[in-house]
Structure 1
Amino acid sequence: METAEKKLKERIKELTCLYEVTSIIVNCDYDRPEISLDAIGHCLKKAWQFEDDTNVVMKIGDYTFTEIVSPGERISIRAGIRVFNKEEGFIEVGYPAEKYTLSDFLDEEKRLLDNVGLEVGNLLERKRIRESELAIKRQMERADRLSILGEITAGIAHELNTPLTNILGFAELLEGRMTGREETDDLHKIRESAIFCREVVKKLMFFTCEVPQMMKPVALKPIVENVLQLLKPTFQNRQLTHHINFSDEKTELKADEIQITQVLFNLIMNAVYYSPEHGSIDIDVNEGEDAITIEIADQGKGIPENVGDRIFEPFFTTKPTGEGSGLGLSVVHGIISGHGGHIFHRPRKEGGTVFVINFPKKPTE
């Protein structure tokens, strides 16, 4: 009778634990899953026969939960935590080796631990599915915004081209007729302003991919070196260094050479702007089987999370007023999209930002 009562009590403890674990998972805050995992760890301890001597360890990636009641050697049972059929961690429950043996673990306890491991794996799967859905939603929203902005900027560019050409042409005609120094200077300012506006229009056209492309196989190494040569005085003024790494120095990309040069120039110039003095800019070009990846990393302060999704929008800039038009990265995005590529950014481990460009490899026509 005593044995039956004991088994019944243990069974109740196990079922209570499983119910509590399920409740914790249902109410999980997916932004802070470690709180739920900690609660599951504490809950597990109460389900074992010898609760006061029970040690619980849970490890998943960088997350670790430990509740060790006594140091020293332990005998334990373990359940793996699988996420999308890949083992990414474990839960381990044990007793002090000097007091217990493996025979002290009940078969029901082993099954309970396996079930909890399965539930934790399901929790992490749901978390990742949710993160994936949110990321896709943000990408779709951003793509919609960029599409609308692209249509607007294309219209603006077409509308501005004709009047700007007229302003520039007539200013040049008048400049040739004027003899007074003051009038000539004023006309020169008008002409320079018109040229500046025309460059802005050209950038808008790049953003909307309206500029015809001259696609041909181009070697990336000379383009990177030419851009760095152009920016050499800027690097020297800021006392910056750069490191270039090519997985294959003969890497070629089917692209418009002028546009790819503009992409690299804008991204490296951006890295220079945000890097501190005596900093370093790293440029890595890796050729894989299906794609060519270019990474440009700086040592700046990084991109704030609240603006990370907006940096490729036209006219959005984090630079002070007068120091940026907000078109550089939108032009880069437009050119890369026009080449069938993809660009994104991520934080650099040592501090700063890494811009990553992926170009699909295409057969030469």
Structure 2
Amino acid sequence: KVIGVLDAESKELNAFSEEDQRLLETLASQAAIAIENARLLETIKRSSELQKLFVSILSHDLKNPLTVIKGYTYLIKRHADEKVQIYIREMQKSIEKMNILIANAKLYSQLKEKVYKKEFEKRYLEDIIKETLKDLEKKAKEKSIDIIYKAEGTYPVNANPTLEDLFLNLIDNAIKYSPENGKVEIDIGDREDKWRTSVKDWGEGVADELKEAIFERFERGDVDVKGSGLGLAIVKQIVDMHEGRVWVENNPEGGSIFFVEMPKMK
């Protein structure tokens, strides 16, 4: 690939020695690398700007019309017969899914930009998870899923507000892929200088070849992961920010066990 041409001239005949030629070749090679890196950096900058623009459009230009549509569905539902109300409920569910998608896209972008990097304070995993379970109580009841919290303790960690989103996405994912009348178990174990949280379900499970890819949704464009959305990609970003790790293993009884390890509060 030709990047450009380096021209060196002299009025004298045979002015350049072999050593001079080698020096010019090295100079040309280094110049080509510098130019290519500059072009690459500019492409990355444009890509980042486009991502910010896309998230901005999602957050404002799409969310506002959705709010209007949601308001009208409630008005129509009040005067609709039973058959129409069924359609309205489905519309409301779809609107709620879109709102979640928009919120997740915004959060993912903020995590990539390190917006929350300095907002750390002492928090307790027990409080965060129990509050998350309250938020997901309705969703679990809709599928008659029993949520079992087995841990006994407070489990202090140095955390920022995004830790709530971590467990919200992780437990929501377990509910989503659990069968009707199933269960989800949550536990926290002591691993020397870390707390290990496990979220166990009896759902579809995760194929071995996808156990890493599901956390890298936007880093592995060649992988088609069913329904992975942004949730697990967000989980990975938050775990990395807290200097922890996340992974998934097979549930011996069928399904999956997601593990999150985080440093104990020092």
1:310 to 179, 200, 213: 213
Residue equivalent to 2:109: 205
Which of 54, 71, 93 pairs up with 1:160?
Answer: 54
CA distance in 1, matches of 2:181, 2:201: 12
Q: Give the TM-score normalised by structure 2.
A: 0.61
Structure 1 runs not aligned, ≥5 long = 1-149, 176-180, 182-191
| Shift in Å, 1:154 | 4.8
Gap regions ≥5 residues in structure 2: 1-43, 73-95, 219-223
Matched residue, 1:270: 173
User: Which structure 2 residues correspond to residues 1-365 of structure 1 after superposition, within 5 A?
Assistant: 154-161=48-55, 167=61, 199-208=103-112, 210-213=114-117, 214-246=119-151, 248-256=152-160, 258-314=161-217, 317-319=225-227, 326-363=229-266
Deviation at 1:345, TM superposition (A): 0.4
Q: SS state of the match for residue 266, structure 1?
A: helix
CA distance in 1, matches of 2:238, 2:45: 16
CA RMSD of aligned residues (A): 3.3
Q: Deviations over 1:214-241 (max 9, x none)?
A: 2111111121111111111111111111
Give 3-state SS (helix, strand or coil) of 1:311's partner. Answer: helix
SS at 2:215 equivalent: coil
| Contact 2:122-2:265 at 8 Å conserved across structures | no
CA distance, structure 2, for counterparts of residue 339 and residue 154 of structure 1: 24
Count of residue pairs brought into register by the alignment: 189
Q: Is the 8 A contact 2:195 2:263 kept in 1?
A: yes
Q: Which amino acid aligns with 1:302?
A: G
Deviations 1:323-355 (A, max 9, x none): x6x211001100110110100000011111000
Which has the larger strand fraction?
1
Q: Cα gap change, 1:263/1:163 in structure 2, threshold over 3 Å: closer, same or farther?
A: closer
Give the conservation status (yes or no) of the 8 Å contact 2:200–2:258. Answer: yes
Q: Structure 2: how far apart are the matches of 1:208 and 1:318?
A: 23
Using the alignment, how far apart are the partners of 1:239 and 1:166 within structure 2?
35
Shift of 1:166: 7.6
Q: Note closer, same or farther for the CA distance 1:358–1:195 as it changes in structure 2 (3 Å cut).
A: closer
Q: What is the one-letter code of the residue matched to 1:361? A: K
The alpha-carbon deviation at position 296 of structure 1 amounts to 0.3
More RCO (CA 8 Å, sep 6+): 2
SS at match of 1:295: strand
Which letter does structure 2 place at the counterpart of 1:286?
Answer: G
The offset of 1:158, in angstroms, is 2.4
Instruction: Note if contact 2:246-2:261 (Cα within 8 Å) is conserved in structure 1.
Output: yes
Secondary structure of the equivalent of 1:286? strand
Equivalent position SS for 1:336: helix
Change (3 A) 1:239 1:198: closer
- Residue 218 of structure 1 aligns to a residue whose secondary structure is strand
Against the structure 1 CA distance between its residues 201 and 232, is the aligned structure 2 distance closer, same or farther, given a 3 Å change threshold? closer
- Deviations for 1:113-142, whole angstroms, at most 9, x for unmatched residues? xxxxxxxxxxxxxxxxxxxxxxxxxxxxxx
Instruction: Say if 1:154 and 1:205, in contact at 8 Å, map to a contact too.
Output: no
